[in-house]
Amino acid sequence: ALTPEQAALIRRYVPEVVVVYDGDAAGIRAALRGVSILSAAGLSVRALTLPNGQDPDDFVKAEGADAFRKLVDDAVDFVSFYIDMNHARTGSIEGRSEVAGELFAILRDLTDEIRRDEYLKQMGRALRVDEWTLRREFQKSTRDQGSRIAVHREDSKAAPVAVSLDDHTFVAVLLNHEPLLQRTKTALDGLPLGDGPTAEVLRGLFGEPGPDLTQRLESEGARNLYTAAANRTVEWDEKAETLVDRRINRFKREVWLAESEGIKEAIREAERLQDIPRVIELVARKSQLDKDIQSIGDT
């Protein structure tokens, strides 16, 4: 695991790092924290993947050092790379929102305002999101993150986030029954799951589940939830299926309500700019969201 101290040591010798991945998009998402640490140390970060899941040693033996050097020379900035690697998720509003949120976590650590400004412009173009809407969301996420840090500093002994019995049982059901895990993964595909122990555990289960997942979870609450759920045996019955479906709907409702609120602000901005086509597009999307929310009712 890369540490801030190691990143600072690298910065003493070079201004830029090229990260070479041999994994897929899910593996790259799991490695986001490392890129954030490099960026926070003041390093420019570019990235590349090697064909057929090769590591650098395999590639150099097969293709030669010059071929590897060319790949490094042609490596793109991490923002462009990340969006391209997650292209499959950018076909929906929910997917674009999730990718943007993941990149916001890195941009928040950049001290170079010019570079951050250019990255936000690139994100707007690549994700087909209005640039000013994207900037507002970035500022909002930065304020929210600042609030969480301030609370943590003021009360370092604050109680961990509470997890409901439903969520505890929900995770246990998914761990005990692979088909229900796949049902949940399919139903929530492309939806930003938000924060909290349950959402963090789900992201781990959807990505690369395995015996080392406990070590890969970042928060203590998520680790405790996963460990406790893994030690439970839950039968697959009608109650288990009902619980899974209800929790899926709750995740959807939370995401759709948040998006609906964001669209309200976007509509007001479009009306202020007298961008009628944009207003029509946003109103249509909000109408569909309201129907989706109504269709699942209270959960």
| pLDDT tens per residue, range 120-161 | 888 888 888 887 788 888 888 776 655 444 444 444 444 445
Sign of CA dihedral 144, 147, 149, 155: negative
| Averaged pLDDT for residues 166-189 | 88
| Averaged pLDDT for residues 231-258 | 85
| Residue-level pLDDT at 17 | 93
| Residue-level pLDDT at 151 | 42
| Averaged pLDDT for residues 269-297 | 88
Q: Which two tokens stand for residue 19?
A: 């990260």
| Residue-level pLDDT at 107 | 83
Quickly count helices (H) and strands (E) in the chain.
16, 3
| Averaged pLDDT for residues 20-33 | 72
Residue 62: is its pLDDT beyond 70? yes
Residue with tokens 């050092």: 65
> Which residues have a Cβ under 8 Å from the Cβ of 89 and sit 6 or more positions away?
25, 95, 96, 98, 99, 190
| Residue-level pLDDT at 67 | 94
Residue 193: is its pLDDT beyond 60? yes
| Residue-level pLDDT at 144 | 63
Residue 40: is its pLDDT beyond 50? yes
> Distance between CA 10 and CA 183 in Å, rounded?
44
At residue 164 the predicted structure's pLDDT band, cuts being 50, 70 and 90, is: low
Q: How far is CA 133 from CA 82, 115, 219, in A?
A: 20, 19, 30
More confident residue, 246 or 211: 246
Lowest mean pLDDT, pick from 111-120, 174-183, 248-257: 111-120
| Averaged pLDDT for residues 3-20 | 88
Angle at 132 between CA 131 and CA 133, to 5 degrees: 90
Residue 91: is its pLDDT beyond 80? yes
